Amino acid sequence: MKYSYSLIKKIAPGKYTKEELVKALNTYSFEAVDFGGDVFEVANTSIAHRFSSGASHLGVAREAAAIFDTKYIDPTLKRLNFDYKDKGIFKVNIKEKVLCPRYSATYVTDVKVGPSPEWLKDVLEACGLRSINNVVDIMNYVMLEVGQPLHAFDADKVKGGIIVRRGKNGEEIETIDGNKFKLSEDILVIADEDKPLAIAGIKGGKYSEVSLKTTRLLVESANFDGVGIYKSAQKLNLRTDASVSFSHDLSPELVEFGMKRALVLLKELCDAKIYKTEDIYPKKQPKTVIKFDLEKIERIIGIKIKKAEAQKILLKLGFTISRNMISVPPLRNDIEIIEDIAEEVARFKNLNELPAIAPKISMSAGVEEDLVIIKEKIRKYLSAVGYSEVYNYSFVSEEKLELAPHEVFGIKNPIKLANPLSVDFAYLRNSLAPYLEKNLNDNLRFFDQVRLFEIGKIFGNDSADEGGLKVSEKTILGIGIYNKDGFLEIKGVIDGLLASLGLVDWFMPDLNLENNLLESQEALRIELGDHSVVGYLGILKSGKNGAVLELDLEKISKAVMEEKEYEPLSKFPSVDRDVSVLVSSRIKVGDVLEIIQKADPEHVNDVDLMDFYEDDKFGDKKSLTFRIVFQADDHTLTDAEVDREMEKIVKFLKDEAEAEIR
């Protein structure tokens, strides 16, 4: 934002040059650059957190007066005399009080529109604006001086009063620069009974603009919701000085300062007659009062400071102090807590001169994070077997939310963003698989085979209250492959990967979970020995050669660490029994293993597939042989005990799998 040095000197007169001012601002306040002549510039990024007080000549002059310990002459304190006691013929109706917290309008008559005086033109030119006429120039000048954007309507073209409302779908407005814009319900407008007169907080309309023939005005000074103005400006691709200011959530208290200053100048430069101001301000900005705690301020900035010195700094910046309580200026909406007060004191003590003191913290021995180690091992393993790592967005569309079986990971409700970039990025992802599928398809244009993996977060809303928000997140490994043996290869990869991590007690029963991503008959759950589900894998519906896998790395990490725990060898011998069964060829090995587990044998230590055999003589059946290992921790098992458990297992196999025991 550009500033006029001569205007700063009028508000904060003192013996300092422009070069000294720019240097001091960089030291104490904002990032500033000397542009030569009467102009210097302050970076918007350095005042982004305090636009209400800093993005104006008054705000910078306040800093200059505090830095150089000089006078501060506030032009908004000039006395304003109304020519009429009533508010004139116009009424204001705010239909959107959330989007417009405050709106003031003043009816002005007997206006003489003409050229502006040279001093006013000089300030506008220094700040990059051209002179139009004295009325328009006053509106722009007040925005530069006070920081409050204003607008003046030709009152003869306003029918019935002002209505602050949402635009109507299909409604159109032509702005003062001759451009036409289609409006919609998510854009706030200033309208009369017939038509929109301005895009609220962004730009005025051509129909009601001030001309040399104008004699009556309706002057607007208002406050608008910052997010609403930002979204409207983005949607219309229309960025103005006013939209930038309002997007930074200006204080509604600025409205009064801006209106009063504009009316004073209209009387001085246009010989105008003014009516009482209509000011609608239903929910006033609360006052901020903070206890003056000198000891805490000293602890925060790290040095001793006299109470009188700290108070002098704050008084120079517009704070008031009474009975050890600090009242924050209404435009300093960046000041909320004692730490903010300490920062104000510290920067005027000169941050560069504060002593450097090492922080006093407790030291602890360095430890390695288990999950970090697991992730690095996974990256090394997958890279070694030909997989490339990808990074995808954490935001997805509503369409992608329901693709993958996110229930596997206990993800409940999706999380919708309050202010998404677009409908394609409206939610936090609840699965890595949808984007992995997209990655596979995108790369198939260039390669016959594609092998990818991603390690990232997925998110869900665990709140039990409707409308509540309790964010949960999980670290997930996603693997995607596309080749003719993709499903078999990915099974081999997960087998080798888990073995490399030291995890051997796991199995893969059917997923049995309907979803829009995987073939229902070609999808498996991945379970640990305690039946906790840690992931899934399956063939993609979009193509028989594509397959994906997702694993909960937090559960995997915990299981890996538990595998490493020491367990003494049993003092008692194990007993092995083999069982051969004929089952339907449609039944998978994982199903049989699950049935054996369901039998809940007391002393089964391990079950392994020893033999698999298919032959035409079996018809549509296959032969499976399992070795079951029995072992007790407290005694040697007898044959009778083992027989009882085998009978139980055999019964379950016959009942659940219709197995024939061979």
Give the long-range contacts of residues 116-125, CB within 8 A, separation 24 or more: 116/269, 117/269, 120/269, 122/4, 122/6, 122/38, 123/4, 123/6, 123/7
Average pLDDT over residues 469-492: 89
Name the phi and psi angles at 172, rounded to 5. Answer: -130, 150
Identify the CA nearest to 440 among candidates 390, 398, 403, 490.
Answer: 390
Name the phi and psi angles at 52, rounded to 5. Answer: -60, -35
3-state secondary structure of 227: helix
Sign of the dihedral through C-alpha 387, 388, 393, 398? negative
Q: Which residue has the tokens 């918007």?
A: 44
| 234-269 confidence digits (pLDDT tens) | 999 999 999 999 999 999 999 999 999 999 999 999
SS3 of 490-545: the string is: HHHHHHHHHHHCCCCCEECCECCCCCCCEEEEEEEEEEECCCCEEEEEEEECCCCC
Name the phi and psi angles at 127, rounded to 5. Answer: -95, 10
Domain spanning 575-661: which superfamily? Ferrodoxin-fold anticodon-binding domain (3.30.70.380)
pLDDT of residue 363: 67
pLDDT of residue 544: 63
Pure H helices in 524-633: 553-563, 589-598
CATH of domain 92-280: 3.50.40.10
Spell out the domain ranges in the chain. Answer: 2-73, 92-280, 289-351, 370-563, 575-661
Name the phi and psi angles at 638, rounded to 5. Answer: -95, 165
Residue 195 has, within 13 A of its CA and on its CB side, a CA count of 13
pLDDT of residue 615: 79
Which is more confidently placed, 566 or 49?
A: 49
In CATH terms, 2-73 corresponds, of 3.90.1310, 1.10.3470, 3.10.450, 3.30.56, to 3.30.56
Average pLDDT over residues 161-184: 94
Cα–Cα distance measured from residue 226 to residue 232, given in angstroms and rounded to the nearest whole number: 10
Cα–Cα distance measured from residue 99 to residue 395, given in angstroms and rounded to the nearest whole number: 27
What percent of the chain lies above the pLDDT cut of 70? 98
| E strand or H helix at 571 | none
Name the CATH topology of 370-563: BirA Bifunctional Protein; domain 2 (3.30.930)
CATH 3.40.50.720 assigned to 289-351: no
Mode of pairing for the β-strands spanning 162-166 and 172-174: unpaired
In DSSP terms, which residues pair with 40 in a beta bridge? 3, 34
DSSP assignments along 403-458, one per residue: TS-GGGGT--B-EE-SS-SSGGG-EE-S-SHHHHHHHHHHHTTT-S-EEEEEEEEE
Cα–Cα distance measured from residue 41 to residue 473, given in angstroms and rounded to the nearest whole number: 44
Give the long-range contacts of residues 73-77, CB within 8 A, separation 24 or more: 73/10, 73/11, 73/12, 73/13, 74/11, 75/11, 75/145, 75/261, 75/264, 76/146, 76/257, 76/260, 76/261
Q: At what angle do helices 370-384 and 553-563 cross, to 10 degrees?
A: 100
| 119-131 confidence digits (pLDDT tens) | 999 999 999 999 9
Q: pTM (2 decimals)?
A: 0.61
Which is more confidently placed, 166 or 89?
A: 166
Amino acid at position 636, single letter: T
Identify the CA nearest to 343 among candidates 65, 28, 52, 44.
Answer: 28
In DSSP terms, which residues pair with 575 in a beta bridge? 630
Which is more confidently placed, 544 or 199?
A: 199
3-state secondary structure of 329: coil
Inter-residue contact 475 to 371 (CB < 8 Å): yes
| 557-615 confidence digits (pLDDT tens) | 888 877 555 567 778 898 899 989 888 887 877 778 778 877 878 888 888 888 888 87
Domains 2-73 and 575-661 share a fold: no
